Chains A and B, each alone.
Chain A
């Protein structure tokens, strides 16, 4: 995809995050994000790549407030916020405009596939059940699960569960969708169905920020690539540039290693 010119949807500036000593891994407090900045334009697909432990998950979690950043700013749809001071109301408002797809799906186990998609529409947005279900069915159709409306998560394969999760994230017409390694928990033969759904969303012009180890996918679908390592952005730019002729030695090493 070509590098997208246009209005900035999301911008993070100098995000830092330290974890205190509870999880018991080495010396604490440890700075896991050491001043990360990046921006995503409306309609753009940005891919974050990098070795595990780089802080990619933590970055997405900070951006959607699942984790409180230690410092940094977030500009969302033109409004700017201090990540350490943002109010609960602003957090709630931003979350209503975003979607999040987790590595391990995190489907609501007491809801059917359709129930998972409609839950947020009904509970958080107050959309009447009938209407929500109509929207939910459309979303499930879109991810190729027209025959699984009433299936429970436990009856679905990993790939199907992840597609339900994508439908759930998509249902509220988010302005940006975050994906955290959406295929990493899947058996290899199931990654294709999820990636092709994501490819379709990209073609429809959805704004997406995707953490992924699927480099071939990132290369073909993303317009921007961000290479992160050790809590910092090493290199960012048009995906074609980053993948074909990375300017940093570390990026080159990483791309060669993972080939």
Chain B
């Protein structure tokens, strides 16, 4: 029976798709996002500090990255760079592009969050003898992170889904795996729906984590 065969294919492929999800999609997302956060904090701080030159560089980076498609960025790095002798493996290429791309958006989120911490606390920090870096690290960034937590969580969830674009540069993540199974079984509707559901599953877990995180931050008392 047709449904019987379909059920078999779906059950069989579920694990085949989930496995690269766990082995590729999750590490790709986690690594890229962690790097993006590092980039974002530095790029946002540079702007808040108003270091001439560096600030312009930061604005240029954000402008260039936000103004070009992610897919194009992936192609430039993976298919373009070998033309000038720089060859990167698919996975590192993907991490690089996702981190640099997300870093630009997250930098704007962080900048807004940093600017929302009242300037008076920075001045109070100076008056008790702290340096700018100490004030940022101990007073401003913790408050900014709290503020930025919901929008950054959104970005993380968006990134999980965007990693499917890495299929274009031969990273065998969930989507590429699904494409291969479709090529063998000719069940595109069912299988693409299935991979969609797995992405939904991942996003749902992250949404739970976000709620949990927000609750924990709230318990921590400061407002």
A residues bordering B, Cβ < 8 Å? Answer: 64-66, 92, 95-96, 98-100, 102, 104, 106-112, 119-120, 123-125, 152-155, 165, 168-169, 171-172
Contacts and interface: CB of A to CB of B under 8 A. Distances in A.
Nearest to A122: B138
A98 B128 CA distance: 8
Given A108-B121, A120-B129, A168-B128, 19 more contacts: A64-B127, A65-B126, A66-B126, A95-B126, A99-B127, A100-B127, A102-B120, A106-B118, A106-B120, A106-B123, A106-B124, A109-B222, A112-B221, A119-B139, A123-B128, A152-B221, A153-B222, A153-B223, A155-B221
Contact of B120 (A99, A104, A120): A104
A122 to B, nearest CB: 9
A163 B24 CA distance: 54
A154 B220 CA distance: 12
B129 A154 contact: no
Interface in B100-159: 117-118, 120-121, 123-131, 134, 138-139, 142-143, 146
Q: Max chain A CB contacts within 10 Å: which of B120, B124, B127, B142?
A: B127
A112 B127 CA distance: 18
7 contacts: A106-B124, A110-B143, A119-B125, A120-B128, A120-B130, A124-B129, A154-B223
- Chain B: interface residue count, which band? 20 to 34
Nearest to A178: B127
A259 B181 CA distance: 87
Contacts, number: 81
A108 B124 contact: yes
Nearest to A97: B129
Chain B residues touching A, majority SS: helix
B130 A123 contact: yes
Q: Max chain A CB contacts within 10 Å: which of B117, B123, B142, B146?
A: B123
Contacts of B128: 95, 119-120, 123-124, 168-169, 171-172
A51 B120 CA distance: 23
A119 B142 contact: no
Nearest to B135: A123
A119 B138 contact: yes
